Amino acid sequence: MHSFSYVNGILRCEGVDLNEIANRFGTPAYVYSSATIRDNYQRLDAALSPLDHLVCFAVKANSNIAVLSVLAKMGSGFDIVSGGELFRILKAGGRADRCTFAGVGKTREEIAFALREGVYSFNVESEAELARINEIAGELGLVAPIAIRVNPDVDAKTHKFISTGKSKNKFGIGLDRAAEVYEVAANLPHLKIRGVQTHIGSQILESGPFAEAAGKLASLVEKLKTTYDLEFFDFGGGIGIVYDEALESGSPAWWKQDGAPPRHITPEDYAAAIIPILKPLGLRILFEPGRFLVGNAGALLSTVQYVKQTPAKTFTIIDAAMNDLIRPALYEGWHEIVPLRQSSEEKNPMDVVGPVCESGDFFAQDRALPPLKSDDRIAVLSSGAYGFVMSSNYNSRPLLPEVLVDGGHYNLVRERQTYEDLVRGESIPH
């Protein structure tokens, strides 16, 4: 579900008029709905209830500590990819013993930090990493719980930049070599084999690739389970969300509407495809959804600066840019754009672009939108995942504020950066 809808012609997030947030904190600004995050978590958790399972939110999708705190309070675990993310979990009241630590390039410092804090599992991507974790655990007099990431060579049918489960990707260990690498791990004295991990990609909209990956790994897991006394199988993340027509279809839980077949994967489709394969394993199953939990929970508010008419096109130039939301430039991400004030005027094609000096700095191209003029406000929907977290100071643009809505209330959960923040830590040598 998501919680952005028009009430009396004005776009709201839950019970809050988005103009109020824009007036108070300025634009551009990110807004998140707590209700949507909770609802998505509960819905997925319920769909997976036939399994002994733990949902570990992939922190890289949205790492604001207020968002993490909403999920920690629901009992969520976390999938982290850096020492910085572990630090955030601890700040947010999350538990290290519910964290899986993923990533192909863990440094010595990060490994030591995670060992001391007692993470649930290191999800290991190479033999070199196994050796390093073993060495550091030995130095600290600790035992490191590990799982090995196995790459099932499945086509996730998603954008090539966010597909990770093909053998040509840099991730994990090939299925053919997995048993051998588990043997290597078993012979390292400071490691405890705790599980098997996989993750095939992101924004996956059909259940087929998930069922295929589960099927391909099930017999390996079955074998390793008896040899190494496994505790869990971590099935990764990747459940896709609706980006197009998010608002029109977004009356609460649009996918439940009577008779209408879902156009995208639902938590129930996902569960139905994999539970018959995963349940017989008799293990705890971990899931690492990122986008699914927070994507539709966020919107980027922006204000139109200028409308520029050229012989070929209409350009609507807004105050947000690719440094604030890079998905369109990075992997052709598509976002619904809507005015804060509902319009019934005729729609015309336009490009919605930012002020940055790059042709990739666009939010939409040839998009049919109602007429917009200077100072009109818009919302770029479904930007709660891989939005703020991927932002940068490119063009010396301060990072945006983040606002968390809960019912009729809202809180500023990150301040807008100032110009002073931009140069903090810089100096001119004498």
Ligand X SMILES: *Cc1c(COP(=O)(O)O)cnc(C)c1O
Active centre residues (catalytic): 357
Residue type, 292: F
Residue 234 corresponds to which amino acid? Answer: D
Collapsing DSSP states into helix, strand and coil, what is residue 140? helix
For the bound state, the minimum distance from the C-beta of residue 174 to ligand X, rounded and expressed in Å, comes to 17
CB closer to ligand X, 51 vs 369: 51
Selected from 145, 209, 236, 328, the binder of ligand X by CB under 6 A is: 236
Nearest distance from C-beta of residue 424 to ligand X, angstroms: 30
Is 202 one of the binding residues for ligand X (CB under 6 A)?
A: yes
Under 8 Å between Cβ of 155 and 163: yes
Site string for ligand X, 49-78 (x = CB under 6 A): ---------x-xx-----------------
**106 in contact with ligand X (CB under 6 A):** no
Q: Does 402 bind ligand X (CB under 6 A)?
A: no
Residue 237 vs 250, nearer CB to ligand X: 237
Cis before 371 (ω within 30) = no
Q: Report phi then psi at 260, rounded to 5.
A: -75, 125
Q: Which listed residue (102, 133, 230, 325) binds ligand X by CB under 6 A?
A: 102
Tokens of 2: 């998501």
Query: CB atoms < 10 A from the CB of 413, how many?
Result: 16
Please report how close the Cβ of residue 56 comes to ligand X at its closest, in angstroms.
8
Nearer to ligand X, 203 or 323 (CB): 203
Q: Which of the stretches 37-45, 181-189, 289-297, 417-425 binds ligand X when contact is defined by CB under 6 A?
A: 289-297
Nearer to ligand X (CB atom), residue 3 or residue 151: 151
The residue behind tokens 């940055």 is 356
Shortest separation between residue 299's beta carbon and ligand X, angstroms: 18
Helix (H) or strand (E) holding 136: helix 127-140
237 binds ligand X (CB under 6 A): yes
Q: Binding string to ligand X for residues 318 to 357, with x set by CB under 6 A, is what? A: ----------------------------------------
Q: Contacts by 395-399 with C-beta closer than 8 Å and gap 24+?
A: 395/321, 395/323, 395/355, 395/356, 395/357, 396/422, 397/321, 397/323, 397/324, 397/356, 398/422
CB of 237 to ligand X, least distance (A): 3
Q: Which of 291, 327, 335, 397 binds ligand X (CB under 6 A)?
A: 291
Q: Check residue 37 for interaction with ligand X (CB under 6 A).
A: no
Size of the site for ligand X (CB under 6 A): 17
Q: Based on CB atoms, which residue is closest to ligand X, 33 or 151? A: 151
- Return the H-helix or E-strand segment holding 314: strand 314-318
Smallest distance from the beta carbon of 79 to ligand X, in angstroms? Answer: 5
Q: State yes or no: residue 289 binds ligand X (CB under 6 A).
A: yes
Distance of alpha carbon 430 from alpha carbon 422, whole angstroms = 21
Residue 19: both structure tokens together: 């103009």
367 is an interface residue for ligand X by CB under 6 A: no
Rounded to a whole number of angstroms, the distance between the first and last alpha carbons of the chain is 56
**Nearest distance from residue 287's CB to ligand X, in Å?**
9
> Of the two residues 151 and 202, which places its CB atom closer to ligand X in the complex?
202
Rg (Cα) of the chain, in Å, rounded?
A: 23
Least Å distance, CB 202 to ligand X, is 3
- Do the beta carbons of residue 103 and residue 81 sit within 8 Å? yes
DSSP string, 153-216: -----S-GGGB--STTSSSSEEGGGHHHHHHHHHT-TTEEEEEEE---BSSB--SHHHHHHHHH
Report the residue number, 79 or 324, with the smaller CB distance to ligand X: 79
In the numeric block, the tokens 């599992």 are attached to 121
**Residue 129 is a binding residue for ligand X (CB under 6 A):** no
The window from 82-90, 113-121, 234-242, 329-337 that contacts ligand X (CB under 6 A) reads 234-242
Token pair, residue 302, equals 């922006």
Name the phi and psi angles at 308, rounded to 5. Answer: -120, 120
Give the footprint of ligand X on this chain (CB under 6 A).
58, 60-61, 79, 102, 199, 202, 236-239, 288-292, 385
